[in-house]
Structure 1
Amino acid sequence: MSWQNRFKSFIKEPQNIILIVLFILMSFLTLLPLVSLIRDTLIAHPSELMSIKGAKAGDFTLFHWYKVFFDGKNSKNLFYSPFWNTVKVSIGSCVIAIGLGGTVAWLVARSDIRFKSIISTIFVFPYIMPSWTLAMAWLNFFRNAYIGGKPGLFTALTGIETANWFAYGQFPIIVVTGLHYAPFAYILIGGILQNMDANLEEAAMLLKASRMKIIRKVTLPIVMPAIFSAFLLTFASSMSAFAVPAFLGTPVRYYVLTTQLYRTLNGVNQGYGYVLAVVMLAVGLFVLAFNQWFVGKRKSFTTVTGKSSQVSLVKLRGARTPISAGVLFMLLLIAILPLVSFAVESFTMVTGNYNPSNFTSIFWLGKGSTDIANGEPGILRNKYIYLGLWNSIKLSVCCAFVAGTAGVLCGYAVVKRRGSRLSGVVNSLAFFPYLMPAMAFGAIYLSMFTQKNGFIPPLYGTFTLLVLIGSVKYLPFASRAGVNAMLQLSNEIEEAAVIQGVSWWKRMVKIIFPIQKTSFLSGYLLPFISCMRELSLFILLVTPANRVLTTQLFQYNEKGWNQYANAINLLIIVVVLFFNLVINKLTGASIDKGIGGS
Structure 2
Amino acid sequence: MNYRNRAISFLKKPHNVILVSLAVILLYLTVVPMLTIVMDTFTVHQAELMRVKGARVGDFTLYHWAKVLFSSASKKIFYEPFLNTMLVAFGTCFIAILLGGTVAWLVTRTNMRFKGVISTLFIFPYIMPSWTLAMAWLNFFKNSLVGGAPGFFTAITGIQTPNWFAYGPFPIVVVLGLHYAPFAYILIGGILRNMDANLEEAALILKASRGKIMRKITIPIVLPAMLSTFLLVFSSAMSAFAVPAFLGTSVRFQVLTTQMFRTLNGLNPGYGYIIALIMILIGVLILGINQKIIGTRRSFTTITGKSSNIAYLNLRGFRSIISVLLLLFIALVCIVPLFSFALESFIMEPGNYSLRNFTTLFWVGSGDPTIANGEPGVLRNSSIFHGLWNSVRLSVIVAFIAGSVGILAGYAIVKRRNSRLSLLVNNLAFFPYLMPSMAFGAIYLSMFAVKRGFIPPLYGTFALLVLVGAVKYLPFASRASVGAMHQLSNEIEEAGTIQGIGWGKRMLRIIIPIQKASFLSGYLLPFISCMRELSLFILLVTPSSRILTTMLFQYNEKGWNQYANAINLLIVLFVVISNLVVNRVTGASIDKGIGGQ
Q: TM-score normalised by the shorter chain: which range applies?
A: over 0.9
Distance (Å, rounded) in 2 between the aligned partners of 1:172 and 1:227: 24
Distance (Å, rounded) in 2 between the aligned partners of 1:176 and 1:578: 22
Distance (Å, rounded) in 2 between the aligned partners of 1:472 and 1:488: 25
**Partner SS, residue 592 of structure 2:** coil
* Equivalent residue runs for 1:332-481 within 5 Å: 332-481=331-480
* Residue equivalent to 2:41: 41
* Residue equivalent to 2:58: 58
Deviation at 1:301, TM superposition (A): 1.7
Amino acid at match of 1:329: L
* Residue equivalent to 1:269: 268
Q: Which runs of 4+ in 1 moved over 3 A?
A: none
* Residue equivalent to 2:161: 162
Indicate whether 1:121 and 2:99 are aligned. Answer: no
Deviation at 1:357, TM superposition (A): 0.7
Deviation at 1:67, TM superposition (A): 0.4
Distance (Å, rounded) in 1 between the aligned partners of 2:241 and 2:595: 31
Deviation at 1:583, TM superposition (A): 1.9
* Residue equivalent to 1:239: 238
Amino acid at match of 1:299: R
Deviation at 1:5, TM superposition (A): 1.6
Moved more, 585-594 or 347-356: 585-594
* Residue equivalent to 1:14: 14
Distance (Å, rounded) in 2 between the aligned partners of 1:309 and 1:100: 27
Distance (Å, rounded) in 1 between the aligned partners of 2:143 and 2:375: 25
* Residue equivalent to 1:178: 177
* Residue equivalent to 2:23: 23
* Residue equivalent to 2:192: 193
**Partner SS, residue 271 of structure 2:** helix
* Residue equivalent to 1:288: 287
Alpha-carbon displacement from aligned partner over 1:262-304 (angstroms, at most 9, x marks no partner): 0000001100000000011011111111111122122222111
Distance (Å, rounded) in 1 between the aligned partners of 2:216 and 2:475: 36
Moved more, 311-320 or 410-419: 311-320
* Residue equivalent to 2:297: 298
**Partner SS, residue 126 of structure 2:** helix
Deviation at 1:217, TM superposition (A): 0.8
Tell me the TM-score normalized by structure 1.
Answer: 0.99
Deviation at 1:31, TM superposition (A): 0.5
Distance (Å, rounded) in 1 between the aligned partners of 2:7 and 2:450: 37
* Residue equivalent to 1:540: 539
Amino acid at match of 2:70: F
* Residue equivalent to 1:151: 150
* Residue equivalent to 1:3: 3
Moved more, 467-476 or 297-306: 297-306
Deviation at 1:227, TM superposition (A): 0.5
Distance (Å, rounded) in 2 between the aligned partners of 1:312 and 1:411: 40
Residues 44, 52 of structure 2: 8 Å contact kept: yes
* Equivalent residue runs for 1:477-496 within 5 Å: 477-496=476-495
Residues 97, 184 of structure 2: 8 Å contact kept: yes
Amino acid at match of 2:69: F
Amino acid at match of 1:62: L
**Partner SS, residue 27 of structure 1:** helix
Which structure 1 residue ranges, 5 or more long, are not aligned? none
Which structure 2 residue ranges, 5 or more long, are not aligned? none
Residues 186, 593 of structure 2: 8 Å contact kept: no
* Residue equivalent to 1:319: 318
Alpha-carbon displacement from aligned partner over 1:519-544 (angstroms, at most 9, x marks no partner): 11110010000000000000000000
Distance (Å, rounded) in 2 between the aligned partners of 1:324 and 1:100: 15
**Partner SS, residue 354 of structure 1:** coil
Amino acid at match of 1:427: N
Amino acid at match of 2:222: V
Amino acid at match of 1:190: G
Amino acid at match of 1:21: S
**Partner SS, residue 303 of structure 1:** coil
Alpha-carbon displacement from aligned partner over 1:493-522 (angstroms, at most 9, x marks no partner): 101111111100000000000000001111
Residues 478, 522 of structure 2: 8 Å contact kept: yes
Distance (Å, rounded) in 1 between the aligned partners of 2:28 and 2:593: 38
Distance (Å, rounded) in 1 between the aligned partners of 2:592 and 2:386: 36
Deviation at 1:39, TM superposition (A): 0.5
Indicate whether 1:95 and 2:88 are aligned. Answer: no
Distance (Å, rounded) in 2 between the aligned partners of 1:311 and 1:25: 50
Moved more, 566-575 or 302-311: 302-311
Alpha-carbon displacement from aligned partner over 1:4-52 (angstroms, at most 9, x marks no partner): 2211110011000000000011001100000000000001011101100
Residues 97, 229 of structure 2: 8 Å contact kept: yes
* Equivalent residue runs for 1:52-91 within 5 Å: 52-72=52-72, 74-91=73-90
Residues 95, 177 of structure 2: 8 Å contact kept: yes
Distance (Å, rounded) in 1 between the aligned partners of 2:566 and 2:421: 49
Distance (Å, rounded) in 2 between the aligned partners of 1:419 and 1:575: 41
Pairs aligned (count): 597
Amino acid at match of 1:50: M
Distance (Å, rounded) in 2 between the aligned partners of 1:503 and 1:596: 43
Amino acid at match of 2:414: V
* Residue equivalent to 1:215: 214
Amino acid at match of 1:4: R
* Residue equivalent to 1:259: 258
* Residue equivalent to 1:504: 503
Moved more, 424-433 or 198-207: 198-207
**Partner SS, residue 367 of structure 1:** coil
Distance (Å, rounded) in 2 between the aligned partners of 1:297 and 1:130: 33
CA RMSD of aligned residues (A): 0.8
Distance (Å, rounded) in 2 between the aligned partners of 1:239 and 1:404: 27
Deviation at 1:164, TM superposition (A): 0.4
Distance (Å, rounded) in 1 between the aligned partners of 2:417 and 2:298: 21
Indicate whether 1:32 and 2:32 are aligned. Answer: yes
